Amino acid sequence: MKMTVRLLEKRYDKNYFNCGYNLLDDYLKKQARQDVDRDLSACFVLIDEDDIVKGYYTLSANSIRRDDFPENLLKKLPPSYPDLPAVLLGRLAIDKSLQGKGYGEILLINALKKCYEISESLGTIAVIVDPIDEKAQNFYNRYGFILLPTSKKMFLPIKTIKQLLM
């Protein structure tokens, strides 16, 4: 089956999307387009040959408060940046029918590539994710995401992403 990653469009069928989490399914079906229209996020979808959505992720500009960043990584950063620029990979989900077949990794790498490209023209120190539960945390952990000490969010420095992609 030929799968492609595209920006979300009206013509793609997202009605049957089911990743096992209502929150993530409902977001795609009811909210994603509105957020895109309001320039709050970009939504990329994994579609099959029949334009049926089998996965998606969202990206938004974001920041990490300096106080929330691990102390050992702060040493080289000047204090004049109270908020550190970042990209939020807000949601990432694969339809249950395709989970465990490598598509989650494909979408994650696709997202990280985009974040790296963005960082070449706009200062960005890291990609942040907000895992929905411990299972999702374990998934991100595999790719080197680090838990922010003060929240359940995780981050991956752009420098690490560059090494991953090289």
Ligand X SMILES: CC(C)(COP(=O)(O)OP(=O)(O)OC[C@H]1O[C@@H](n2cnc3c(N)ncnc32)[C@H](O)[C@@H]1OP(=O)(O)O)[C@@H](O)C(=O)NCCC(=O)NCCS
Size of the site for ligand X (CB under 6 A): 22
Token readout for 12 is: 């793609």
Q: Could you tell me where the beta strands, DSSP code E, fall in the chain?
A: 4-7, 42-47, 53-65, 83-94, 126-129, 146-147, 154-157
Stretch that binds ligand X, among 2-10, 38-46, 72-80, 90-98 (CB under 6 A): 90-98
Please list the residues that pair with 127 across neighbouring strands: 87, 156
**CA dist., res. 71 & res. 66, Å (int):** 9
In the three-class reduction of DSSP (H, G, I as helix; E, B as strand; rest coil), residue 30 is classed as helix
By CB under 6 A, name the one of 103, 109, 118, 157 that touches ligand X: 103
Closer residue to ligand X (CB): 21 or 81: 21
* Token pair recorded at residue 10: 């009206």
Shortest approach of ligand X to residue 98 CB, angstroms?
A: 6
Tell me: does residue 156 bind ligand X (CB under 6 A).
no
Using CB under 6 A as the criterion, what x/- string covers residues 104-123 for binding ligand X?
xx------------------
Interaction site with ligand X (CB under 6 A) = 19-21, 24, 91-94, 99-105, 131-132, 135-136, 138-139, 142
